Chain A
Amino acid sequence: MGYPAEYRYTKEHEWVDLDGTRAKVGITDHAQSELGDVVFVELPAVGTTVNQGDTLGTVESVKAVSDVFAPIGGKVVEVNSELESSPETINTDPHGAGWLVMIEVSDLSQVDSLLDSAAYERIIAEE
């Protein structure tokens, strides 16, 4: 699986798909592969305000729990409620149907601090 060039990424293995002022956020293929079979996802309530770097929620597999950090600050306007019944979507389609939350971005300049796909792929190659 490749890393979409139009997305942005964090060192903590989140991806951001920016569309105007709204950003869709998820965890990368690398992250889901390290975690193993996802069994449970904890997402914030719609309406929650988060700052860049705050904990958004958690993704749980059988053997580990990973915090998901907000790659950019803003307000959570939508969460992927499908994940409640089908957490495994994060494994099968981490960059698409396995998205976690939609954030209304408060400070678009924060996007500049994120990695592009090439930079992210370099990071995971070194791990």
Chain B
Amino acid sequence: MRTIFDYRKRNGTGGILPELDVPAKKTTDLIPQDLIRQDKPRIPNLSEPEVVRHYTALSKLNYGVDDGLYPLGSCTMKYNPKVNEDVAHLPGFASIHPAVDPELAQGSLSVVHKMSRLLCGITGMADVTLQPAAGAHGEITGMFLLKRYFEARGETQRTRILLPDSAHGTNPASAATAGFSVTEIRSGADGLVDLNALSGELDETVAGVMLTVPNTLGIFEENIMKITAMVHATGGLCYFDGANLNAFLGHARPGDMGADVFHFNLHKTMSAPHGGGGPGSGPVAVSEALVPFLPVPRVRLDRGRYYLDWEKGQSIGSMHSFYGNFGVFLKAYTYILTLGDEGLYEAGENAVLNANYLQERLKKTYRLPYDRLCKHEFVLTGKGIADGISTLDIAKRLIDYGFHPPTIYFPLIVHEALMIEPTETESRETLDRFAEALEKIASEAQENPDLLHNAPHTAPVRRLDQTRAARNPILTYPFGD
């Protein structure tokens, strides 16, 4: 697949922008010679039909949720409603500059304010910031909030964050960015947080615990109330990673479980599209005690008018240029309004049903390390399918069956992990076809392992050489060579 740099060199066609309509001045009269660029950046000039064909062809090399099942665990690849897209593209929303006089942006400000109220309702927590631009961004926001909270209380000896060994990589990375050190708590044989291990670590040097609920095995922490109580008893706070909110959406609220900080992934649970890797939106909800530390500006309502409150007080400052990814949380807002309480409830229960249905069928062929009721996702292992066959081989072979592979090699506590999350927007028929494909692959692994080792065979490219990419990185188009 060629790049735009592979097209023949030519001059631009112009035609997108009009000619200059004010009297032109010599560039050197406006800018000193030594500040004027001498070289020409090697940006190609393609005609419009070429641009369109090029990117249309590229798009066809991709696989999106609109193409088929995307069972990535903890990613919640649910259907992206099109009405959300249309709303976000309305010129009345898209054209608004963030620094405009608030009087002229009452519509957008009301979205920020109302969305914040809805997210508080969904979490059962006191207040929310919409600034974080992604889940990981929400995590560091949460860690910064904890840091400020303890600073304000003079408890600067609290330098540690505890997290389970099943935690997503962003969790310890976020904690470290805020200057915390990280201690892993081992999971018990049941895959849940080992309470003894936890109590053994809890002391006054612990700022808090970072939990994913349900955890990355798709199992709900049944001792969640005990866990949060234990942490609170030693003066620590509880951070909940909300990546798996789809598991209990409409049925339970993290605020009721003892969460002090909770981040959303609106591009997961609330149907905003993943965009090929972003932009996301990761709002953070907090309990009453953390409200004073939320980022500025805050959007407030006073006698029917929305305004920006820049009063810094004890706030951590700002995490984003402006108010967060408005164009993304606008889509999530539209989704929540569409679903209402019944829709949120149905989303949660169908997500859990779909996952358990798949788990029940697939455990007959693949090893299920934790055989019990799961929530919206579950983890299998590729170990034991056949000698010399890895989870990677199985994943690549799934591509030949027309499915995007599930998450592989995560969580780390299961060797050769396959983490599967179907979401509620898949039909039973699709789930059956997916299970059938995995069953066929298991047989192929025994009878014809090379089919797996050399997979994929039918994708736009065959298996790519990662080692070569890593050893000799070519990160820009090789012009000179």
Contact = CB atoms under 8 A, between A and B. Distances in A.
A37 interface: yes
B470 to A, nearest CB: 4
Nearest to B467: A37
A60 B467 CA distance: 11
Interface string B437-481: 000000000000000000000000000001101110000000000
A39 interface: yes
A88 B409 CA distance: 23
Judged by DSSP, the binding face of B is helix
A61 B466 CA distance: 10
A63 B410 CA distance: 12
Nearest to A37: B467
Interface in A32-64: 36-37, 39-40, 60-63
Interface in B115-159: none
Contacts of A39: 467, 470-471
B471 A87 contact: yes
Contacts of A87: 471
B409 A62 contact: no
Contacts of B466: 62-63
A86 to B, nearest CB: 9
B471 A63 contact: no
A61 B469 CA distance: 11
Nearest to B470: A39
Nearest to B472: A39
B473 to A, nearest CB: 9
Contacts of A37: 467, 470-471
Residue among A37, A60, A87, A88 with the most chain B CB within 10 A? Answer: A37
A63 B467 contact: no
A61 B470 CA distance: 8
A112 B466 CA distance: 41
A40 B467 CA distance: 10
Contacts of A88: 471
Contacts of A60: 470
Nearest to A87: B471
Nearest to B473: A39
B442 to A, nearest CB: 23
Contacts of B469: 62
Interface of B: 409, 466-467, 469-471
Interface of A: 36-37, 39-40, 60-63, 87-88
Given A37-B471, A63-B466, 7 more contacts: A37-B467, A37-B470, A39-B470, A39-B471, A61-B470, A62-B469, A62-B470
